[in-house]
Structure 1
Amino acid sequence: MSRSRRIGATFVAAFRAFLRRRTAVFFTFFFPVLLILIFGALVGTRPTGGGLFARDPAYYLPGYLGVVVVFTPLSRVGSTIARHRDGNRFEKLATTPLRRWEWLLAHTLVNVVLIGLAALLLFALVLVVTGAAVVVGPALLSLVPLVVLGVALFCGLGSILGRIASSQDGVIAASNSVALPVWMLSETFVPPSMLPAWFRPVTAFSPLTYFSRGVRTAAGGGDPTGSLAVLAVLAALFFLVGAVAVPNTE
């Protein structure tokens, strides 16, 4: 079997497994919609006032997209590795020509497709519900590679968490412990100006910060090349480490 067929077969199997898990589908597509309806429609923003939502609605676009870019890959890839390990699946995979990086690539592609669809839905919903204004132009197309790179990065991190955690419950706990602070403190919902001065430089160490900056720049019609370049390097690094973290056998 050729490499493309191996990856394709693994992709189809992983895609079907995702659709069979209704909880995963709910949190990928419907949970972020609830956040937009709550914060975008019910709470709203106060551009002339103070508080957490004191910026224009478009400022919070990276935060809404970041829900699926961060949470879904971390939990899905990590829990899949833990589940495969518990079922001795990796021992069976070790007898096949499928390599670890091919396995992770197939699962990453599944997440790219599903999260890409979810991000498109969220983007349209943010515009309709919150009235966020974006500049329609070539720069807006940069959202596609930003989402792809973000998903690949957190799939790699999810693989690392899946290798470290001892069970599926441990993966979920670790994923949430990592995802929540990263999502909130990476220039998404909380502007750097609201953070303590000593903590602001710390946000530069979060990969999601460069996703946020890139999305915000692209939505404003600017050139997000710098953020894309940093995110690409980090995505490649995390994917390589994540591929090594995929178990051979247990």
Structure 2
Amino acid sequence: MGVEEPAAAVEAQQRGDPALGAVDYFLPAFIVAMVLINGVMTVPSAVADFKRDGTLKRLAATPLRKREWILANVIQQSLLAVAIALVMVAVAWVLFGVTAVPGPLALGVLVLGSVAFTALGMVVGGTIQDPGSAISLGVPSRFR
């Protein structure tokens, strides 16, 4: 064809910090997955189970208001998600030598995400009667 030089040039470059290992990059993904699973799979199942076995009706007979129970459950599950995330960071730091430590912004996003996913799980659990259905509703269709 008479072309002397290649049509495209390919150049390889180093991306990311060479001091960071694979665990430093995978740890945030595992933390996000844990927060998501806790919020949209565990919480709806528990709430639907409470609804099915009559625990929510018994709670309605107490002086505890619905919004107080919902808020307490969201706070408790969010604190659990944050605590598990901090344990994951500590274990990764001790066992794998992770050098990436979450800063204040990352912790704020972690708290906000855990509250948001837990609240979403409360809504799903409140609308679905069967715990198995509540779990499967929280799982994206490509994972079923």
Same fold (TM over 0.5): yes
Q: What is the 5 A alignment of 1:120-199?
A: 120-134=86-100, 140-177=103-140
Q: Out of 85, 107, 121, which is 2:51 matched to?
A: 85
Question: Structure 1 or 2: larger helix share?
Answer: 1
User: Shift of residue 130 of structure 1?
Assistant: 4.9
Residue-by-residue CA offset, 1:60-104 (whole Å, 9 max, x unaligned): 332111122110122232112211111122222222332222112
Match of 2:40 in 1: 74
Q: Which amino acid aligns with 2:92?
A: V
Q: Distance in 1 between matches of 2:129 and 2:14?
A: 48
Aligned-partner SS, 1:133 = coil
Q: Which has the larger radius of gyration?
A: 2
> Could you list the per-position Cα deviations for residues 131-190 of structure 1 after superposition, in whole angstroms to 9, with x for gaps in the alignment?
5432x6xx7133332222111111111012113323011011112237x6xxxxxxxxxx
How many residues are matched?
A: 125
Structure-2 separation of matches of 1:102 and 1:151: 18
State yes or no: 1:61 paired with 2:24. no
Q: Distance in 1 between matches of 2:109 and 2:72?
A: 19
For 1:164, give the aligned amino acid: T
Identical columns (%): 26
Amino acid at match of 2:124: L
RMSD of aligned Cα (Å): 2.9
Structure 1 distance, partners of 2:95, 2:138, is: 29
Structure 1 unaligned runs (5+)? 1-46, 50-54, 181-250
